[in-house]
Structure 1
Amino acid sequence: MTGELEGKVAVITGGASGLGEGLVRRFVAEGARVVVGDIDGDAGARLAAELGERIRFLESDVADVAQVTRLVTTAVEDFGGLHVMVNNAGVSGKMFGKFLDDDLADFHQVMAVNVLAVMAGTRDAARHMSGNGGGSIINLTSIGGIQAGGGVMTYRASKAAVIQFTKSAAIDLAHYEVRVNAIAPGNIRTAIVRKSAVGEDLQRLEEFEAKIREQMRNDRPLKREGTVDDVAEAALYFAGDRSRYVTGTVLPIDGGTTAGKVIVRKPKP
């Protein structure tokens, strides 16, 4: 580790598991102090006990804007400032076999977590950063917000909204030296895929996930499967000084999936 974030303070939402946990661990390893918010109190408490005084954990539901504000306030009050805001918390929503069967019952929850919380986190972090020399805001979107496709329509719509919001906020906040960028992971193994299926037992869930992973591999130019560490490396770049002239960008971490279809080359006769 290089100590690239030494002296910096960060907030990471959804930081108790999955991608968020990977980000927290990498930021702490690089010298940052981190306020972690997550709805899973037990997982967050375990992470805090393991990582010690460099993190503060607050059990938080980011669908409640006031709880997002509390994370930012805690960073400033407990650690003396805020340099990096990572709006990572997200939910997939239910996956139906076809859109005609979608009852849209989870629309407001998905939009509250995936869009409203990102907007609130960006706003609250920028309110502090704008008067304190700027900072970096990193919003987690998805390749599902870049590429059209079937299934989880509300999720795809929410992640597309994050991309447009990120670019717009980057323009608006550049005057204050506040950089706003987005990371679009794809084909990263976390629990979010299996959470999107409806009414399936464990065996069928595993079969469902295996099919999704196979399709992802077939569509991906790079055959190596992406990891949480790959996403953490991108977040580190945006959080540190190496990206001081970078704002309004969306970086896919997807093995080339969004670049285009794989070219199938037939062997020569």
Structure 2
Amino acid sequence: MTELAGKVAVVTGGASGIGRGIAARFAAEGASVVIADVRDDLGEALVRELNEAGATTVYRHTDVGDQAQVADLVSSTVEAFGALNVMVNNAGISSPLRKGLFHEDLEEFDRVMRVNLLGVMAGTRDAARHMADHGGGSVINLGSIGGIQAGGGVSTYRASKAAIIHFTKCAAIELAHYEVRVNCLAPGNIPTPILASSATDEDRERLEKFEARIRQQMRDDRPLKREGTADDVAEAALYLATDRSRYVTGTVLPIDGGTVAGKVIVRKPKDQQ
């Protein structure tokens, strides 16, 4: 398990959920990993856990919605480890749960777009500035099938993820000259804390019922019946981080059990036809 030996990686939003899975997987493959997040308690605990197992990781408090903090994250990584080979722009938040578009006040629009989209754009730019002068590298942006497949609810979140997908392709074209590959992962129906984080105390019970209903609907529509996990996303991220994907850029890879490929066709048993 040394596919990333000698490599340096940054994972934003790396303290929990999908980011935690990616950070742990990269560390297991020998990378030096900088875990960036705003949840200091979770991030520092993860670093202790991974380092006790023999990994080399550090934690950096970083609000990716602040361009100066993103720039500091990249520069401090290079200063500490002498390189930056893989940048995973994973940090993201959900827009609040509303009863529908008519009830949406868009109060959180700026915050969601600043974290989800600006954070990805700044992370890509700042990492690529270093990579371009040091033989290239891999940038991995986290989108969502919500940015591919239209649906009702959390429209600001969906819009931010759609923008990440388009930006990824644009950046891939521009940065290919410098051997900087830019790709996007689009997870779907991976249980993480992101949706719950958007709930208030007043609507938490309603959110839990809503999330359970939506996840069941996604299970019904998903061709593969096994549940997706953060580890599944981490395996895809590992592929994009290594030289195995050296000819891959500008791609969007859904990790969704086939959900965006189309709905399941339910066929009756022959004796009922």
What does residue 35 of structure 1 align with? Answer: 34
Superposition deviation, residue 193 in structure 1:
2.6
Q: Superposition pairs for residues 120-269 of structure 1, below 5 Å?
A: 120-197=122-199, 200=202, 202-268=204-270, 269=272
Distance 1:128 1:107 in 2: 31
Check whether the contact 2:196–2:204 (CA below 8 A) recurs between aligned residues. Answer: no
Describe the SS at the equivalent of 1:262. coil
Superposition deviation, residue 201 in structure 1:
5.2
The answer to which of 50-59 and 250-259 deviates more is: 50-59
Distance 2:209 2:155 in 1: 22
Superposition deviation, residue 47 in structure 1:
1.2
Distance 1:97 1:127 in 2: 43
Describe the SS at the equivalent of 1:126. helix
Describe the SS at the equivalent of 1:215. helix
Check whether the contact 2:34–2:77 (CA below 8 A) recurs between aligned residues. Answer: yes
Give structure 1 regions of 4+ aligned residues with deviation exceeding 2 angstroms.
193-209
Superposition deviation, residue 145 in structure 1:
0.3
Give the TM-score normalised by structure 1.
0.97
What does residue 23 of structure 1 align with? Answer: 22
Describe the SS at the equivalent of 1:6. coil
Between the two proteins, the alignment pairs up a number of residues equal to 268
Alignment deviations for residues 138-173 of structure 1 (CA, whole Å, 9 cap, x no partner): 000000000011001100100000000000000000
What does residue 119 of structure 1 align with? Answer: 121
Superposition deviation, residue 198 in structure 1:
5.3
Identity, in percent, stands at 67
The answer to which of 158-167 and 50-59 deviates more is: 50-59
Check whether the contact 1:134–1:178 (CA below 8 A) recurs between aligned residues. Answer: yes
Check whether the contact 2:3–2:242 (CA below 8 A) recurs between aligned residues. Answer: yes
The answer to which of 205-214 and 14-23 deviates more is: 205-214
- Alpha carbons of 1:198 and 1:149: their partners in 2 closer, same or farther (altered >3 Å)? farther
Distance 2:173 2:100 in 1: 38
Mark the runs of 5 or more structure 1 residues left unpaired by the alignment: none
**What is the identity, as a one-letter code, of the residue corresponding to 1:176?**
Y
Check whether the contact 2:97–2:207 (CA below 8 A) recurs between aligned residues. Answer: no
**What is the identity, as a one-letter code, of the residue corresponding to 2:29?**
E
Structural RMSD (CA): 1.2
Q: Superposition pairs for residues 5-84 of structure 1, below 5 Å?
A: 5-52=4-51, 54-84=56-86
Describe the SS at the equivalent of 1:192. coil
Check whether the contact 1:95–1:198 (CA below 8 A) recurs between aligned residues. Answer: no
